[in-house]
Amino acid sequence: MKLQDRVAIVTGGGTGIGRGISEAFAREGAKVAVNYSRSREASEETVAAIRSAGGTAIAIAADVSQDASARGMMERVSQEFGRLDILVNNAGWSTRIPHDRLEELTDEVWDRTLNTNLRGAFYCMRAAAPYLKKQPGSSIINVASIAGLTGQGSSIAYAASKGGLLTMTKSFARVLAPAVRVNAIAPGFVRTRFAGWPASAFDQGEAITPMKKLPTPEDLGALAVYLASDGAMSITGQTFEMDGGLAALGPPR
């Protein structure tokens, strides 16, 4: 197993992409702390699924947008499992606002978007760093978005938050090298409940990808496993796009 006996925290780990990563880590032998802020039931379901498959997991409540809450989560997980090897910053929030409706980007929308997607990731990385530095081969994986590269996505605020996360990935990769590797994954459309996209949006997005396929939570879990494993020991400061080739190649002609 690629992650045998390692300990991972996956923020927002009970639903969508987070669940895909949590379950993939557990299958590879990691002990997983499935973080949630509001989705308690879904997180407990994810933990139950991991345990029924023979894995080890706990659900842990923490609001990553609060520094004290992020610090408390790192301490609790370290006490529970005796170490911390992997942090996945997956927790995110967005609401769909067409980019030309500038007046709808209220202070409330900006604050919640940045506090969760950007400030929360910073708080978690800062809080986790002392624990991660103690473990050889430790890793941080930030789940960003293609929106952070293209400026598209559910809102301007969301795209800006994910662009900031990609920049912060490089900053932390420099700060924590060589003890901790820090990389980002930038998914395109993934069929989850995030931001309330209708099914038609996913169908249209899939149709214009060169691969004619959208990534799944399981696909993203497989990539996260690789980035957390010994096979990626020379990789840091990188962003891995996973969107069926659309951002890199454009739609088929």
Q: Which residue has the tokens 């894995």?
A: 55
Residues 129 and 176: beta-carbon distance below 8 Å: yes
Residues 24 and 218: beta-carbon distance below 8 Å: yes
What span, in angstroms and rounded, lies between the C-alpha atoms of 68 and 62?
A: 9
What span, in angstroms and rounded, lies between the C-alpha atoms of 17 and 187?
A: 9
Which residue, 36, 83, 28, is CA-closest to 56?
28
Which residue, 121, 30, 124, 132, is CA-closest to 78?
132
Active site residues: 158
Sign of CA dihedral 194, 197, 199, 201: negative
Query: Three-state DSSP class for 131?
Result: helix
